[in-house]
């Protein structure tokens, strides 16, 4: 399974919003400038996140985006599924022999476990509270 720039930059947006949580809206322009990314591309990525009710847009001169839920309630898996689709290491595992099916299922489940147990709060405070588990972000 390969996470594309959709998933990577989507996580970047969401981590930035989590770090800014409680401080008001954050503009995509600010996020784009801070991370050297295209604002236009970030606009394309935030739409599905808004449609999935993970972010809210605030209009106006001081508008931008805020998280629709607490950072502890949003997982990396939520974001990746919205932007990348289902988490699967290979397509068509049902056509594989049983031993290979078992391997692909175990890989899928391990990746899902990491993504579904890693919250935006974890990602946004990484390094601030000290590392609890040095292998937390390795797959």
For 46-57, write each residue's pLDDT tens digit: 999 999 999 999
What percent of the chain is modeled with pLDDT above 90?
77
Domains of the chain with CATH codes: 5-124 (1.10.10.10)
Number of alpha carbons in the 13 Å side-chain half-sphere of residue 85: 7
Q: Which residues contact 73 (CB under 8 A, 6 or more apart)?
A: 119
Residue 104: CB atoms within 10 A of its CB come to: 16
- For residue 129, the model assigns a pLDDT of 56
- How confident is residue 139, by pLDDT bands cut at 50, 70 and 90? very low
pTM to 2 decimal places: 0.87
Tell me which residue of 90, 84, 136, 133 sits closest to 113, measured CA to CA: 136
Helix (H), strand (E) at residue 115 = helix 98-117
Banded model confidence at residue 137, pLDDT cuts 50, 70, 90:
low
**Confidence class for position 130, pLDDT limits 50, 70, 90:** low
Q: pLDDT of 65-111, one tens digit each? A: 999 999 999 999 999 999 999 988 888 888 889 899 999 999 999 99
Check: CB of residue 65 under 8 Å from CB of residue 55.
yes
């Amino acid at each position: 399974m390969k996470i594309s720039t959709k998933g990577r930059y989507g996580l970047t947006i969401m981590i930035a919003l989590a770090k800014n949580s409680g401080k008001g809206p954050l503009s995509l322009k600010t996020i784009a400038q801070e991370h050297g990314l295209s604002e236009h591309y970030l606009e394309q990525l935030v739409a599905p996140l808004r449609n999935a009710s993970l972010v809210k847009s605030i209009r106006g001169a001081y508008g931008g985006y805020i998280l629709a839920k607490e950072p502890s309630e949003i997982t990396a898996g939520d974001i990746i599924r919205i932007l990348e689709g289902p988490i699967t290491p290979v397509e068509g595992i049902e056509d594989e022999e049983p031993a290979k099916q078992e391997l692909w299922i175990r890989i899928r489940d391990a990746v899902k476990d990491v993504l579904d147990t890693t919250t935006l709060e974890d990602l946004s405070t990484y390094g601030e509270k000290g590392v609890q588990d040095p292998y937390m972000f390795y797959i």
